[in-house]
Structure 1
Amino acid sequence: MRDIIVQRIEAGQYKAGQRIPSVIDLTQEFGIATQTAQKVMNALRKDRWIRTERGMGSFVTTAEERTTEAGETSE
């Protein structure tokens, strides 16, 4: 599932700043357990493919956000 989501981001199906499907939506689409979908979302966050805003959902990051070191600010 992680690779499929990354492919969708790279292909432009999910664009930078776009909200991606929720964990619940992904469990239904892929026929997997909620815990598995949550682990995939955590891996996507760790690899900076997505960012999560509490109460808002998860959003695709920009290429710049993915390459910026953690804790580093752009000026």
Structure 2
Amino acid sequence: MSDLDETRAKWRQVYEVIRARIADGTYPVGARVPSVVQLVEEFGIASATAQKVMRALRADGLIRTEPGMGSFVEKI
């Protein structure tokens, strides 16, 4: 999915996609969310952009990251 709107911040668009997937149950509570590498591959974004998405999801309490294990849905 590389059809991101060039007039809007890419990290915000990817954040909204992942947030929507959490809300609709694609990623239920406790499920692993895509890694930075997987976000780069799926959305065609830079690693720094994917890291910003993950930081925003963590800051909003939507995910938690377990070192060495990945990031998981914390709440909907």
TM-score tier (shorter): 0.7 to 0.9
CA distance in 1, matches of 2:47, 2:75: 26
Q: How many residues align?
A: 63
For residues 21-60 of structure 1, the C-alpha deviation after alignment (integer angstroms, 9 at most, x for no partner) is: 1100010000000000000100000000100000000000
2:61 alignment partner, one of 23, 41, 48:
48
For residues 49-73 of structure 1, the C-alpha deviation after alignment (integer angstroms, 9 at most, x for no partner) is: 100000000000134xxxxxxxxxx
1:7 alignment partner, one of 5, 20, 36:
20
Report runs of 4+ in structure 1 exceeding 3 Å deviation: none
CA distance in 2, matches of 1:62, 1:11: 12
Aligned to 1:33: 46
**Unpaired runs of at least 5, structure 2:** 1-13
Calculate the aligned-residue CA RMSD, in Å.
Answer: 0.7
CA distance in 1, matches of 2:16, 2:48: 17
SS at match of 2:22: helix
Larger radius of gyration: 1
What amino acid is the match of 1:37? A
Aligned to 1:60: 73
